[in-house]
Amino acid sequence: MITRQTDPHRWDGIEVFPYKESGTHFKTITRQTLFAGDHDLPIELRYFEIGPGGHSTLERHEHAHLVMVSRGKGQVLVGDRVSQIGPNDLVQVPPMTWHQFQPLPGETLGIFCVVSAERDRPQRPTDQDVASLKTFAEVADFIKL
């Protein structure tokens, strides 16, 4: 089976879910589920786009992420490190590791994200978690809550 690309970063029959323009924990994101998992391959493949000025939720969880950057330049927090990312960079987020994706100014960051079909719900940082994240200067400057 082949799911054809119809326009750049859009696929035939795949719905684009717009997140609210200003949710409490994320901003300017769309999500497309390209593969929802089945008996033979219990993973999901999603494509997210984060528009200029947007960011993903700062979160952690027991399940891991495997992320491939598709378009745009951005930065990612994984644990206590902030790294520059661009097309075809591969980002691994281990279990229970704080993470957040942000595009650089004026950029739209598009990422493919693989997760287990069965997974736990994301956790948000407590005030104490935020305080300990902010002990790292580059993290303090980066994170958006």
Q: Which of 38, 26, 31, 27 is nearest to 1 (CA)?
A: 38
Centre a 10 Å sphere on the Cβ of residue 55 and count the other Cβ atoms it contains: 23
Compute how many other C-beta atoms are within 10 angstroms of the C-beta atom of residue 102. 22
Per the CB < 8 A criterion, the answer to whether 119 and 61 are in contact is: yes
113 is known as an active-site residue? yes
Q: Which of 93, 113, 133, 139 is catalytic?
A: 113
142 in helix, strand or coil?
A: helix
Q: State the catalytic residues.
A: 113
